[in-house]
Structure 1
Amino acid sequence: MTNIALSAMLGATPPLGYESLYFDKSSRELRGGVSKYIGWRTPDKIPSSYMDELDYQEPLAFEFLVYVAPERVWRTDMQRFRERFRAAPQTRDYFAFLKGTDGLLHIRGPERLAVALESLDKILREIQTSCGWETEIVLFSDHGMNLRENQRIHLKTHLRSRGFALGSSFSETSRDTVAIPAFGLCGYAAIYCGDGEALADVANSLVELEGVDFSIYRDGTRAIAVTGANGVGRVERKQTNGETSYRYLTSDGDPLQLQPILETLKQTGKLDEEGFASDQDWLETTANHIYPDPLANLYTSLHTQRVRHTADVLVSLRDGYYYGWSPFARLTRLAATHGNALRPSSNAFLMSTHRTLPPFVRADDAQPLLRG
């Protein structure tokens, strides 16, 4: 998830998949995995060109070890950052990526994170004192977190019980086979289908599974379908004279809980005769929604290249549930996670010591704000 967010924020190339273990739609098989964290950071282990922007990032092995020994890793990570910054030229911007705090919050929770943030605050104050108060520090995160004890969702077992086969690759006869990469312990799942006609069946089969909030899949070239316990809906996009608009339709219930906002848009004259509202109007009215900016966020997750191998079905889990690699789950207790479409996971932070920033900004629009 980090690679997706940072590639968007820094205008970089999209990663191959949602995580290190991904499904390659060209070869129709799972690729990557733990091997990506072994050895040096060679070109084949660089997920996106955003890494070219970084002056500092943790050693490759830390990216995995942070979830096994978070205390030692975050302390070492911050000390390395401090030393590397002091040795760098002071006449240009300096970009650092500190990942130790992510693993610390996942495994140890907010109390231990507070200790790490106090340490980071001291380092940043030291930097500003040393470089001068005219030095701007911009601090931002790539995602949020839900701070709940999480339990694993029984996704594969459920799909098998509904007649689907689970595989790591597809052949010409894999019509009822699905592949679901399982790596990090996150609040989403990416499903790839051996048969392109099975998307709706897969999504519908997940409605009754405990822990699933909703699933989405492409429904034509300009729409996505949304299916969940709270109903069935559809998000459509149109472009007129270069302006983007969205329409939210429901056929049963209200899976994205947008009916009150839809009524407000109607009463304020923001809907056109077809029921579309501008992208900007949707953003302004849903920025603080339970699902922030849901129409653009969900639509672009399937109809734009967030990753090079886009899932057929994306599943957003409820807070308190995760999907991921079973051996990893047995190694650790998960105190917090992220990855679903809900506000705690979707909202990140962006702050500056010198500028007043907009109240909300999409990741795709953040790049100009990251430099003074």
Structure 2
Amino acid sequence: MLAGLRARRRPGPDAYGTSPQRRDGRFRNPAPRPAEGLGKMLGIIWNMMTNKPRDSVPDAPLSVQRLTRAQLEAAPDRSLYRLGHSTLLLKLHGGFWLTDPVFAERASPFRWMGPKRFHSPPIALHELPPIRGVVLSHDHYDHLDRDTIEYLASRVDVFLAPLGVGDRLVAWGVDASKVRQLDWWQETEVDGVRFVATPAQHFSGRGMFDGDRTLWASWAIIDEDLRVFFSGDTGYFDGFKAIGERLGPFDVTFIETGAYDPQWPYVHMQPAESVQAHLDLRGRWMLPIHNGTFDLAMHRWQDPFEQVSALASSHGVALSTPRMGERLDLAAPHAGERWWRLFESPASTGSYVPAAIDADAR
């Protein structure tokens, strides 16, 4: 298996033809994504520009728990820190791992426009301890930040990526020998930790003409008796059950809960679907990610936290909501506090009615 993975480090697009996920030069989901057309896309853009609620962005920058390199190096194994959006810092076997590292001020191809951070990272990029590896889910700007990758290129030992995403890294200056590209259900091992690229329902591309040229994935990370799941970006699909059956139960699931909208239900989950995905995965603790950092949808910025908290409570799901920069012990998670309510203005408070979870889908 490992020999096969090494052969895929920089195979070039032609080698992806053997992937079951690839047809006619593009990667695809098991259930084809509904055609949306230019008209719908322009309608979504217009709605985002003209009908965006004021409280989709906090009134002031969010405070975070600051981290230092010394503090991280002294932390015990199996520590987890949210740094923002889908960027997580995990300490496993004495080494640090970053998921979808984005330290840029904006999730955008431009430095002067696009979604701007609600908060600074709890630790600056140049203050990080040595990073053993980076795990990437796909190539969208809020998950793959070129400036961050270029900084880390000579400072990270291993980059794990779905097919095609690794080619981008090599094009940006990452040594090809550091890159391992995986298809769904392929796995590799580093320092005794297993990393399995698992299915997701999403799409890819960074420009007008490269849509779905690279693969997207979720990840199962297995450290002996500890199993965690990182969703990346995904809509709800029956793949969660398959992952739970093959690789679960998971001690902690890091599940996308944010940037959702009825206008794009296929590629991002509603909060009820996020909780259902956790149940499908046979998760013990759920930690919602993909929220609290960028304005990428039409909902209030606090809504993902409020909705998933209500849903988790009503369905007996153990939910963890640490602050950005707060340590979580993966072996013994804690619930955290409802820190986002400290930033609510009186005019924006309201009641939350959790959406239903399909009991038949469990």
TM-score class normalised by the smaller sequence: under 0.3
Per the normalisation by structure 2, the TM-score is 0.25
| Pair member with larger Rg | 1
Per the normalisation by structure 1, the TM-score is 0.25
